[in-house]
Amino acid sequence: MIYAASGGGDGILTIIRRDVTDTYNVIQMLPTRQRAHTLAVNTQTGQAYLVTDLMGVDLTHPGGIAALRMKPIEGSFEVLEIGN
């Protein structure tokens, strides 16, 4: 099994199975959360874990609307657990 996490834009976990040498099939493209691109897999159970957080606007940064910056929202860290 091959797991590929794409945390940009939509956030998708693509699960691919290797059938025979050099033959691969996409099993599922599972929507996750935006920014959930770091993952770990428990090979014994097949559980996948992705980490993410939410982003917000940093209103403390000076300079007006043109200088707005995004930053992680404090306390928004999440671990997504995906089972088979």
Q: Is 0.85 topped by the overall pTM?
A: no
The arithmetic mean of pLDDT across residues 38-48, rounded, is: 87
In angstroms, the CA 28 to CA 24 distance is 12
Looking at the predicted structure, is the pLDDT value of residue 71 above 80? yes
pLDDT band, residue 26 (cuts 50/70/90): very high
Report the mean per-residue pLDDT for the chain.
84
Give one DSSP letter per residue of 7-70, joined into a string.
Answer: -STT-EEEEEEEEETTEEEEEEEEE--TT--EEEE-TTT--EEEEE--EEEETTSSS-GGG-EE
- Categorize the per-residue pLDDT at 25 as very low, low, confident or very high, splitting at 50, 70 and 90: very high
Backbone angles phi, psi at 19, to 5 degrees: -85, -55
